[in-house]
């Protein structure tokens, strides 16, 4: 099938893009970033936007660098930009490892980090990163600019706090302190498929025990999130299988898993215990 007819706009500045969004968002005007999610849904006529506002020609959106202790990722930055660490320390290495799980090479050369965050597929790796590490989403519109914390941003399956006339101009990720242990584990049936379940974890080691743990789960519920019950079981304990199994079981018990065409809720709950434990083991192993 071919997409339904639409008008195409190619702004060269952020202000032009915001003016176009203000004018056309009420008439189903949408941002076109990498097009790797939007264009297929248009081809199947699941989406029929009347206007596409193509942000690929806006050079100011290609920012990628560290400012004030945060990695700033502009709306033009592609998945593939993370193939090598883009920041010193554990964050750059973690992003590089996670990126390899997203789709396939041609998709990674077009799709954008911010496009994934705007699209908010429950199984998006970048959404799990944003939710677990406490990202800030910078939303701009002709009305105002605002910063949305990750905990207030993800609302459900492909549902976010972004308004239709808002451009997700950049995402800011806090740098991880030197020595932070990180792990990411994803399960799918074929390489490049969307995750059926995945976990991202970080913790520090102080005096031989775990401190400041973060346990995030994605691909299992309507949106990725941190699991406080799992984190509580790690604080103050030495890293090891017993603690990791307990955290995995707590994560599995805490979630409200999805049933979809890939698998059912019971399987996903079981899977979350495993991916959480394996992500924690990976974090501990990387330290050795
Ligand atoms: C075969 C295949 C496999 C895939 N596998 C994975 C996978 O394993 N993991 C994964 O995470 N993704 C996967 N994807 C999706 C891919 O990562 C997309 O690149 C991503 O979801 C969206 O980014 P995009 O830049 O292509 O956005 P687009 O497709 O251009 O846009 C997606 C949506 O977000 C909106 N949008 C985009 N950018 C902005 C912005 N800056 N501000 C406001 N709204 C915006 C658009 O209006 C649209 O509604 C896969 C895609 C395909 C085709």
Q: Which two tokens stand for residue 171?
A: 């995402």
Nearest CA to ligand 1 atom 33: 119
- Does any ligand 1 atom lie closer than 6 A to the CB of residue 115? yes
Nearest CA to ligand 1 atom 36: 115
Q: How far is CA 283 from the centre of its chain?
A: 19
Q: Is 28 left (phi over 0), alpha (psi -120 to 50) or beta?
A: left
Say what the pTM is: 0.98
Our mutation pick for probing the ligand 1 site, out of 44, 77, 78, 118, counting the most ligand atoms within 8 A of Cβ, is 118
pLDDT digit string (tens) for 11-25? 999 999 999 999 999
Comparing 157-161, 166-170, 191-195, the range with the smallest average pLDDT is 191-195
Nearest CA to ligand 1 atom 21: 116
Q: How far is CA 21 from the centre of its chain?
A: 24
Distances in whole angstroms, Cα of residue 54 to Cα of each of 8, 10, 30, 105, 268:
7, 5, 9, 22, 37
- Does any ligand 1 atom lie closer than 6 A to the CB of residue 81? no
Where residue 286 falls among pLDDT bands split at 50, 70, 90? confident
- Does any ligand 1 atom lie closer than 6 A to the CB of residue 167? yes
- Does any ligand 1 atom lie closer than 6 A to the CB of residue 113? no
Residue that has been written with the tokens 């976010």 in this structure: 160
Q: What is the pLDDT of residue 115?
A: 98
Which ligand 1 atom is the nearest neighbour of the CA of 37? 29
Count the residues in the chain.
288
Mapping DSSP to helix (H, G, I), strand (E, B) and coil, where does residue 101 land? coil
Are 238 and 208 in contact, with CB atoms under 8 Å apart? Answer: yes
Nearest CA to ligand 1 atom 5: 103
Q: What is the pLDDT of residue 37?
A: 98
Nearest CA to ligand 1 atom 19: 111
Nearest CA to ligand 1 atom 46: 31
pLDDT digit string (tens) for 103-114? 999 999 999 999
Mean pLDDT of the chain: 97
d(CA 174, CA 68): 9
Nearest CA to ligand 1 atom 53: 36
Are 284 and 267 in contact, with CB atoms under 8 Å apart? Answer: no
Distance 254 CA to ligand 1 centre (A): 28
- Does any ligand 1 atom lie closer than 6 A to the CB of residue 75? yes
d(CA 20, CA 27): 11
Q: Which two tokens stand for residue 151?
A: 């905990």
- Does any ligand 1 atom lie closer than 6 A to the CB of residue 250? no
The DSSP element (H or E) to which 124 belongs, if any, is none
Average pLDDT for residues 162-187, to the nearest whole number?
98
Q: What is the pLDDT of residue 287?
A: 64
Q: What is the pLDDT of residue 214?
A: 98
Residue 144 is given by DSSP the state -
pLDDT digit string (tens) for 197-234? 999 999 999 999 999 999 999 999 999 999 999 999 99
């Amino acid at each position: 099938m071919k997409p339904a007819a639409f008008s195409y706009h190619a702004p060269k500045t952020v202000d032009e893009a915001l003016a176009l969004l203000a004018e056309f968002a009420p008439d189903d005007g949408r941002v076109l970033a990498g097009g790797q999610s939007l264009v297929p849904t248009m081809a199947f006529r699941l989406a029929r936007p009347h206007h596409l506002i193509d942000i690929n020609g806006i050079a100011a959106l290609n920012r990628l660098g560290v400012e004030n202790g945060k990695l700033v990722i502009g709306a033009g930055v592609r998945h593939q930009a993370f193939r090598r660490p883009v920041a010193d320390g554990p964050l750059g290495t973690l992003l590089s490892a996670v990126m390899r799980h997203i789709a396939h090479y041609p998709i990674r050369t077009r799709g954008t980090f911010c496009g994934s965050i705007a699209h908010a597929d429950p199984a998006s790796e970048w959404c799990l990163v944003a939710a677990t590490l406490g990202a800030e989403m910078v939303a701009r519109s002709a009305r105002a600019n605002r910063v949305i914390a990750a905990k207030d941003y993800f609302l459900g399956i492909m549902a976010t706090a972004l308004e239709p006339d808002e451009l997700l101009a950049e995402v800011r990720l806090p740098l991880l302190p030197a020595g932070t242990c990180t792990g990411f584990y994803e399960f799918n049936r074929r390489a490049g498929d969307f995750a059926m379940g995945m976990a991202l974890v970080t913790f520090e080691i102080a005096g031989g025990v775990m401190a400041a743990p973060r346990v995030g789960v994605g691909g299992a519920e309507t949106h990725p999130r941190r699991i406080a019950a799992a984190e509580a079981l790690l604080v103050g304990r030495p890293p090891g299988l017993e603690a990791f199994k307990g955290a995995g079981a707590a994560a599995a018990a805490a979630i409200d898993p999805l049933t979809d065409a890939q698998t059912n809720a019971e399987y996903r709950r079981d899977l979350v215990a495993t991916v959480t434990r394996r992500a924690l083991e990976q974090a501990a192993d990387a330290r050795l």
